[in-house]
């Protein structure tokens, strides 16, 4: 019996099949933003049906790249792709593929993936941040995603870093996501984040804002480890060494909170492994 894992993002989506803990099939495709929800659903069905003669799916875990109302198992909206407003994606999977499904936002799911299988294994509590097109965060305490009272915990991307800063897609000004995400770096500086971060002088300024966001996380949570995933985290030590140094400078003097910030170990697969871990929480008859 196999688990189907789905990771829906703004620029690409990935699906995988797990046999126990082992990934036995994987497929990634570019997201057609103009295609909206209907296009994505067709793609998911086509990939899953293509696997059905080789694998018998028992359950499905989903990481969605946008706000999710976990208690109702509905997508709240997608800021990158249209048509998802209030859509019950797991119920759709259950109807089309006849397997139980569970969904959370991709940062929460990525956090669980790194906590169970990746760079956060054995670290409790764990904070995970995805640093790519957008910025998301997830908290794992005692091996489970901490969602807060209304399932909206961990949203580090919309902490205000620069009150006098520019307007974010959420409507507020100077959010961490507005200052540090790949989408805005490229729009503000006319070059992709990968190129910008090759310049140590740029990195020195960039980590000041990034550290302001992570400082809030360290002061509030005192995590055993912070794991950062997403495309920008692939800059490696050229980013992480100055970031740790800047955090040490910013964290309040008397705080002995550890500053342990590392890149994700599962690379592009944090969310897929997290979807596997999340799906295992579904009680089976």
Residue 181 CB, shortest distance to Zn ion, in Å, is 10
Instruction: Give the torsion sign (CA, 128, 29, 117, 237).
Output: negative
**Nearer to Zn ion by C-beta: 180 or 247?**
180
Structure-derived torsion over alpha carbons of residues 29, 34, 35, 38, reported in degrees to the nearest 10: 120
Residue 153 CB, shortest distance to Zn ion, in Å, is 16
Residues 6+ apart with CB under 8 A from 253: none
Per DSSP, the three-state class of 137 is strand
Binding mask 12-41 for Zn ion (x = CB under 5 A): ------------------------------
Contacts 24+ apart (CB under 8 A), 242-249: 242/200, 242/203, 242/204, 242/207, 243/207, 243/210, 243/211, 243/214, 245/207, 246/207, 246/208, 246/210, 246/211, 247/211, 247/214, 247/215, 247/218, 249/211
Per DSSP, the three-state class of 152 is coil
SS3 content of the chain, % helix, strand, coil (to 5): 40, 25, 35
Stretch touching Zn ion by CB under 5 A, among 60-68, 119-127, 165-173, 220-228: 165-173
**Nearer to Zn ion by C-beta: 2 or 105?**
105
Residue 172 CB, shortest distance to Zn ion, in Å, is 5
Q: Name which position in 25, 41, 141, 170 contacts Zn ion (CB under 5 A).
A: 170
**Nearer to Zn ion by C-beta: 116 or 168?**
168
Residue 149 CB, shortest distance to Zn ion, in Å, is 21
Q: Name which position in 107, 111, 156, 168 contacts Zn ion (CB under 5 A).
A: 168
Q: Which of residues 174-193 bind Zn ion (CB under 5 A)?
A: 175
**Nearer to Zn ion by C-beta: 170 or 221?**
170
Give all strands (DSSP E) within 48-166, no chain letters: 57-64, 68-69, 74-75, 101-105, 126-131, 135-141, 144-145
**Nearer to Zn ion by C-beta: 167 or 255?**
167
**Nearer to Zn ion by C-beta: 115 or 179?**
179
Q: Name which position in 59, 80, 147, 158 contacts Zn ion (CB under 5 A).
A: 158
Stretch touching Zn ion by CB under 5 A, among 76-84, 111-119, 163-171, 200-208: 163-171
Give yes or no for residue 80 binding Zn ion (CB under 5 A): no
- Interface contacts to Zn ion, rule CB under 5 A: 158, 168, 170, 172, 175
């Amino acid at each position: 019996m196999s688990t189907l894992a789905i990771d829906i993002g703004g620029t690409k989506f990935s699906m995988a099949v797990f046999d126990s803990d082992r990934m036995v099939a994987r497929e990634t495709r570019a997201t057609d933003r103009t295609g909206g929800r209907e296009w994505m659903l067709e793609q998911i069905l086509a990939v899953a049906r293509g696997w059905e003669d080789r694998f018998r799916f028992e359950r499905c875990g989903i990481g969605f790249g946008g706000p999710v109302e976990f208690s109702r198992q509905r997508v709240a909206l997608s800021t990158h792709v249209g048509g998802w407003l209030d859509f019950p994606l797991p119920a759709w999977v259950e109807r089309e593929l006849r397997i139980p499904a569970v969904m959370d936002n991709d940062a929460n799911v990525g956090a669980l993936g790194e906590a169970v299988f990746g760079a956060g294994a054995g670290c409790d509590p764990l904070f995970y941040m995805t640093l790519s097109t957008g910025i998301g965060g997830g908290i794992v305490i005692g091996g489970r995603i901490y969602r807060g009272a209304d399932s909206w915990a961990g949203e580090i991307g919309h902490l205000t870093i620069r009150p006098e800063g520019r307007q974010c897609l959420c409507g507020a000004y100077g959010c961490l996501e507005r200052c540090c995400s790949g989408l805005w770096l490229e729009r503000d500086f006319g070059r992709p984040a990968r190129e910008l971060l090759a310049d140590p002088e740029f990195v020195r300024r960039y980590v000041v804002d990034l550290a302001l966001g992570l400082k809030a996380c360290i002061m509030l949570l005192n995590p055993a480890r912070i794991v950062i995933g997403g495309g920008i985290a692939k800059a490696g030590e050229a980013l992480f060494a100055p970031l740790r140094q800047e955090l040490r400078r910013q964290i309040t003097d008397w705080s002995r909170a550890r500053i342990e910030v590392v890149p994700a170990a599962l690379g592009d697969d944090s969310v897929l492994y997290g979807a596997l871990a999340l799906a295992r929480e579904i009680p089976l008859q």
